[in-house]
Chain A
Amino acid sequence: MATSKKFEKIRLNTSPKPADLQKLNIGDIVYLDGVVYTGREGVYKKVVDDKCPLPDDVVKASAASFHCSPAAAPGDREGEYNLGAVTATASFRFTKWIDKFLEVSDAKLIIGKGGMAPEDYRNYFVPRGAIYLTTVGYGTGALLGRGVKKVRNVHWADELGLAQAIWVIEVENFGPFIVESNLAGESLFERENSKIAEGLPKIYEGTRPAVLKRFGETDDRSDELI
């Protein structure tokens, strides 16, 4: 490394107390201990749109929900799973469900890829005392896989398929993750984007817009796709 700022590694329980979260700043490196459960489109749709409650053993055991589905397959014996790598899926697509999901799950840690829109943090995360952790890379699937001690349960696999099911996993030293949004609703990606935006006019010098335009096209490079 040209520069190697040493990042402190913070261990965090998956059912954290408000005081544990209060200490975290955006850009902090976090490793998790406890129980994490996955949830992506199928789960969000079922829980929020179809008002189907999350299984009891999920909400009681964990306040850490992961936008993810692992590379895993059923093992030789019933209820056993062979789990390899674990990586998040992009979180921005859960915006329409996240408010209600935080309410019914009481999750305090939302883990995913790429964060959500800054207004999602301010509108939905902050009032509920939740923070957002982003995976690193992406993705450090093998490192995260090492942090999984056991697949405790898989819910709704028959209906949703393995990739969309709820995987309840026991984890230890599970990481790395980076704090993307803290209890105040600040966003690391937003901060980095604005720093980078300052240099963009210079790099675009000597280019020109396409002759054939597209509907809704803008040259505002502070815009985001999410």
Chain B
Amino acid sequence: MIPIETIQSTALTLMDKAAIEIPEDYLSGLQQAADIEDGDLSSFVLQAMLENYEAAKEDRRAMCGDTGCPRWYVKIANEAQIQGGPAALEEALRSATAEATNGVPLRPNRVHPLWRTDHNNNVGINAPEIEYAFEPEGQWIDLTTVHKGGLFGTDYRMLFPSDGIEGIKRFYLDSLVAFGKRGLSCQPAIIGIGLGGSKDTCMVLGKRAACLRTVGDRNPDPKIAELEEEFKELGNNIGMGAMGFVGKSMVIDCHIEVGYCHTGGMQMSVHAFCLSSRRACARIHQDGTVEYRTDPEWFTPYQRRETVEWQPAKNLKKSA
């Protein structure tokens, strides 16, 4: 039985880590971009950001004043048992979100869409989002918090099979150029692309591609992996850099996730996880031990399974 107090205290630590510590994979990606950036102003911006990450860690203060919209991804292994059940888990995550908002502190960003009511704790109707996935084996839960900025850099379009790769590229470039001007999407960013599914699935896949995969990770489908590389390159050749200044750093990495869709369509979404790519994760084991990490390891073979039945990983290894 995973103790609920451990879930609560781990969640609080994750809120703090996400807001303050830039993940190592994003940091090294940005350092590489800074090394080759030759636009004067873009270079200045990247250098300032690198200093900013240091300042955040040294002072234990949030790296960005807009601390985004905290949300939770919960992965539950098949044999895990949570003290108090799923309702207790949700209460613990909502409580950690509220507590961290005052503790770190974070900006109380979440308001009612119509009445603009602000509880000053980032908790409200449908906030924070809590999303779930499962793994077929194990006795642990993974908690991941992502504090993604909420206003710019994301778009959706219904494409059709006849749009082809050329149409996908067009919408990709349109999204980068349009939101890149003036740096609205706070680039360079991890770009996530969702393809297929239905409109909502497509948005979810793209967002998870941006927020739950690390810089350097590639889709296991070799042709999609090639597209990811090509799109990264394409984005960095627009001629635009940080803040929309002349430069060549737009995309720290590009991740594509797909879902089976209606035979007539090819839904596409584009998401930008910004210069403050805030994510933090932990695995909590049945005995209450906790391991922190920055890679959510969300997209396992199980999450991307194509068939009705699931073949356990050991069988896959044998046939590989």
Contacts and interface: CB of A to CB of B under 8 A. Distances in A.
B118 A7 contact: no
Interface residues of B, number: 78
Contacts of A7: 40, 44
Contact of B178 (A74, A113, A207, A225): A225
Nearest to B151: A90
B177 A85 contact: no
A70 B102 CA distance: 12
B237 interface: yes
A195 B40 CA distance: 14
A69 interface: yes
A19 interface: no
B104 to A, nearest CB: 6
Q: B56, B164, B179, B243 — which one has the most chain A CB atoms within 10 A of its CB?
A: B243
A161 B64 CA distance: 20
A209 B159 CA distance: 10
Contacts of B108: 161-163
Contact of A143 (B55, B177, B184, B245): B55
A87 B64 contact: yes
Contacts of A178: 41, 243
Main secondary structure on chain A at its contact with chain B?
loop
Interface string B1-38: 00000000000000000010000000000000011111
A184 interface: no
A145 interface: yes
Nearest to B107: A71
Contacts of A86: 65
B183 A114 contact: yes
Interface stretch (A46-54, A103-111, A121-129, A134-142): A134-142
Contact of B104 (A71, A199, A200, A209): A71
23 contacts: A1-B46, A2-B36, A2-B38, A5-B40, A5-B43, A68-B65, A71-B104, A84-B62, A85-B64, A86-B65, A136-B49, A137-B52, A140-B51, A142-B55, A142-B61, A142-B62, A143-B48, A161-B117, A164-B118, A192-B244, A203-B238, A207-B167, A208-B163
A200 B173 CA distance: 10
Contacts of B293: none
A87 to B, nearest CB: 3
B43 A199 contact: no
A140 B52 contact: yes
A1 B34 contact: yes
Interface string B146-187: 000001100001111011101101110100011101111010
A141 B43 contact: no
B120 interface: yes
A115 interface: yes
B210 interface: no
B145 interface: no
B78 interface: no
A69 B43 contact: no
B259 interface: no
A192 B65 contact: no
A163 B121 CA distance: 11
B246 A225 contact: no
A156 interface: no
B52 A199 contact: no
Contacts of B37: 1-2
Contacts of A27: 41
Given A71-B106, A114-B182, A211-B159, A145 B59 contact: yes
A39 interface: no
Nearest to B242: A137
Interface string B103-115: 1111111010000
A137 B38 contact: no
B214 interface: no
B120 A200 contact: no
Given A29-B44, A85-B62, A163-B108, A139 B186 contact: yes
A34 B21 CA distance: 30
B43 A142 contact: no
B243 to A, nearest CB: 7
B190 to A, nearest CB: 16
A114 B41 CA distance: 14
A72 interface: yes
A207 B169 contact: yes
Contact of A199 (B34, B105, B116, B239): B239
Nearest to B61: A84
A22 interface: no
Contacts of A196: 238-240, 244, 246
